């Protein structure tokens, strides 16, 4: 492990003044680096008070980013929102500057082993489950990355005998260099973020970065039911362990006779009955299987895994029950930021659904999403930048009750006016949030606030 002194007295340029960018800039400054924090937006658009950073000796370069920013820079650190394709990153590489993501910085700072989880969908639920399971071992556990605090912040907080659990997005994997988690997991690969990664091949390559530096003593947890992911075992140096909803496995976690089981070195271990798992939806059984496979190799006892699965109610913004109004249940699935994720949300309900969808378009294929929507919905309410393309895709599937609205408030109010018991109102946008909100969390909170307002208006 490279020591924390690696960055002392080095000139570092951090791109992106979001949560992780500010966090890693402060950390590197505290470690003795000469830090400049840059964002393409001017200070007025960022709406933040940077006085504390300036007092700490961090130089701010906000607004137009010129190549002169790279003068004397030894490390260029990218926040997740910064694409590797921007001209400044290309110029840095041409000049031989080391380009890395905030996750790579975290790896270089961490003295604890790392469990890293990626995939198109299910990352947050699986990461949270793993964190809860690991807490039962008595070890210090820190969870971060694409969830909660910046990973670099958590890397400094956890002691060497603890464990760092990381949710890792494809954006964060764009800039890894030596990143080597002891246990890595790839949950699934379906089209997403093609507006940034351009092709599925590039998107898949970014995901595979999670295990590219692993060695024989490490573990790679793979979804056996996803052929693309299953095939990754051929390119992985770590020990391949699978999870499957459909197959009994010689090495991995699977469902057999209605039970979650783990098989390793010829021994089968029962965890719990599938019916005991508290979180809703078949996709969450997959997440539970992945978490059990990770937990097993991280030293979690089977009965401790079972206890977590029986009590874990899910994560905020993922099929989150909000309220019931006049016999209609309202669910917040703001984390459904791509069609595949929203398909799983739709399939989780037996009741007919009033679906609220749309947002910042990722240019993903909508065919299957609209086929499932036709089967599962009574009405589809569309909003945001993607609404016209979504409406056209719905028309191709001959979905009748499609409504386009102009605001988020209007979408929720209109859904309320349409819904009849025992229908469900579901926010699952199948899109990013950035056309109307800063992130999916803000979008989910807005939905919950609007629903609670409707509750308060009841006589």
Residue 191 has a pLDDT of: 63
pLDDT of residue 248: 95
Shared domain check, 156 and 299: yes
Binding-site residue ranges:
119-125
pLDDT at 1: 43
Asked if 127 and 263 sit in the same domain, the reply is: yes
Q: CATH number of the domain at 118, please.
A: 3.40.1190.10
The rounded distance, in Å, linking the Cα atoms of 438 and 359 is: 12
- Per the structure, the count of domains in the chain is 3
Instruction: Determine what percent of the chain is predicted with pLDDT higher than 90.
Output: 80
Structural domain includes residue 3: no
In a domain, 67, yes or no: yes
- Residue ranges of the annotated binding site for ATP are 119-125
Bridge partners, 239 (sequence order): 219
- CATH number of the CATH domain containing 42: 3.40.50.720
pTM summary value: 0.82
Q: Is residue 2 part of a domain?
A: no
347 lies in which domain range?
320-456
Same domain for 346 and 219: no
Query: Smallest Cα–Cα separation from 290: which of 224, 228, 239, 343?
Result: 224
* 119/207 same-domain check: yes
Q: Are 29 and 8 in contact (CB under 8 A)?
A: no
Question: What CATH number should be reported for the domain holding residue 399?
Answer: 3.90.190.20
User: Percent of the chain beyond pLDDT 70?
Assistant: 97
Q: How confident is the model at residue 192 (pLDDT cuts 50, 70, 90)?
A: low
What average pLDDT does this structure show over 354-380?
Answer: 96
Same domain, 247 and 326: no
**Which of 96, 118, 149 is a domain's end point?**
96
Residue 432 DSSP one-character state: B
Statement to judge: residues 86 and 160 lie in one domain: no
- Residue 34 pairs in a beta bridge with 11
């Amino acid at each position: 492990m490279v020591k924390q002194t690696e960055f002392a007295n080095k000139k570092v340029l951090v791109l992106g003044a979001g949560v992780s960018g500010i966090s890693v800039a402060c950390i590197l400054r505290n470690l003795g680096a000469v830090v400049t924090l840059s964002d393409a937006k001017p200070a007025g658009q960022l709406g933040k008070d940077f006085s504390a950073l300036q007092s700490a000796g961090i130089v701010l370069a906000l607004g137009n980013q010129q190549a002169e920013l790279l003068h004397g820079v030894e490390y260029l650190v990218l926040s997740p929102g910064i694409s590797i394709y921007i001209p400044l990153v290309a110029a840095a590489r041409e000049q031989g500057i080391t380009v890395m993501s905030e996750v790579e910085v975290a790896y270089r700072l961490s003295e604890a082993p790392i469990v890293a989880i990626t995939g198109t969908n299910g990352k947050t639920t699986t990461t949270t489950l793993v964190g809860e399971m690991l807490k039962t071992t008595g070890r210090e556990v820190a969870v971060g990355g694409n969830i909660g605090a910046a990973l670099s912040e958590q890397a400094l907080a956890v002691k060497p005998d603890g464990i760092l659990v990381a949710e890792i997005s494809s954006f964060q994997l764009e800039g890894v260099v030596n990143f080597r988690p002891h246990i890595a997991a790839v949950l699934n690969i379906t089209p997403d973020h093609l507006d940034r990664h351009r092709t599925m091949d590039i998107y898949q390559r970014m995901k595979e970065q999670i295990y590219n530096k692993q060695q024989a003593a490490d573990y790679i947890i793979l979804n056996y039911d996803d052929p693309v992911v299953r095939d990754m075992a051929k390119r992985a140096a770590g020990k391949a362990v699978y999870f499957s909803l459909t197959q009994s496995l010689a090495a991995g976690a699977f469902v057999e006779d209605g039970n979650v089981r783990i098989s390793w070195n010829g021994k089968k271990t029962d965890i719990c009955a599938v019916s005991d798992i508290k979180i809703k939806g078949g996709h969450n059984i997959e997440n539970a299987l992945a978490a059990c496979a990770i937990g097993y190799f991280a030293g979690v006892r089977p009965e401790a895994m079972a206890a977590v699965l029986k009590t874990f109610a899910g994560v905020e913004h993922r099929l989150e029950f909000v309220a019931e109004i006049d016999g209609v249940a309202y669910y917040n699935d703001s984390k459904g930021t791509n069609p595949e994720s929203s398909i799983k949300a739709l399939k989780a309900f037996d009741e007919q659904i009033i679906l609220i969808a749309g947002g910042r378009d990722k240019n993903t294929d909508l065919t299957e999403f609209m086929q499932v929507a036709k089967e599962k919905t009574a009405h589809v309410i569309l909003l945001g930048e993607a609404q016209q393309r979504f409406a056209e895709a719905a028309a191709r599937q001959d979905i009748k009750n499609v409504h386009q609205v102009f605001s988020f408030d209007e979408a929720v109010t209109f859904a309320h006016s349409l819904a009849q018991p025992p229908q469900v109102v579901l926010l699952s946008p199948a899109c990013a949030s950035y056309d109307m909100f800063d992130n999916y969390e803000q979008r989910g909170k807005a939905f919950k606030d609007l629903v609670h307002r409707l509750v308060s208006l009841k006589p």
